[in-house]
Amino acid sequence: MSSSVQRALRILVELSSGPLTISELGRRLDVHRTTSLRLLRTLEEERFVRRSEDGRYRIGPLMAALAHEALEGLDLRAAAHEHLRALGASSGHTVHLAALDGDSIVYLDKVESRQSIRMYSYVGARAPLHATGVGKAILAHIDPQERGSLLGAPPYPGHTPNTRTDPGELAEDLARVVDRGWALDDFEHEEFIHCVAAPVRGATGRVEAAISVSAPEVTLDREDLLGLVDDLRATANAISNELGWSRT
């Protein structure tokens, strides 16, 4: 790659964090003012940057349009699939990708367990928000008013004796999800299956989906399930990065 192209790309990266003057860009790129000006004029002609009345440069309309098109073209399932497969291979258990659809979650992808006991879930299946790990990982990051609209009037439907049907108990659980960065389905949807789940963020930082590792208690006890949390969260972060999110 030519030095001019590299410098032009670096200008765009620097401007992505906010407007800058020619002098500021020159210092950051460690190039002479005339070099910065020459590159900026070319980028301005092509509408990749624009100059404000105060003399500072910022990202231009064409760059913004390209970024929007790139984000619109991202396929959540495609971005996540190889990461899900890797997590399934390392854990040996069922891995799900799910997203909000109406007032429930829908499974977008699934990696089967290597164990002889398989889960009956399938891509396209729906499940409740308040009683699943992936549902709670998403629900915890939704505005409380919208959350109430999605859940409906309490008490919430019970699926097992462990389902949190009381709004106060559920709110406490969701607060823990936000604090620690992951959710636990403690046999709340199915009596013999538990899971851990983590949120997946899009480019704006908004939670767009969640992933989980699930297993019957007979094949994975509580301690070993919780031992998968670090790998689970690392996978969720990797998928989020694929979607344009960056922890800053």
pLDDT at 99 (0 to 100): 93
Give the predicted TM-score (pTM) of the model.
0.72
Q: Is 211 left (phi over 0), alpha (psi -120 to 50) or beta?
A: beta
Tell me: pLDDT of 74 over 80: no
| Rg, Å, the chain Cα set | 23
Distance CA 91, CA 202 (A): 25
Query: In the chain, what are the domains?
Result: 3-72 (1.10.10.10), 76-242 (3.30.450.40)
Tens digits of per-residue pLDDT, 110-119? 999 988 776 7
Tell me 24's DSSP state: H
Tell me: pLDDT of 6 over 70: yes
Q: Count Cβ atoms below 10 Å from residue 184 Cβ, excluding itself.
A: 22
Strand pairing of 94-101 and 193-201?
A: unpaired
pLDDT at 248 (0 to 100): 61
Tens digits of per-residue pLDDT, 132-157? 999 999 999 999 888 988 999 999 99
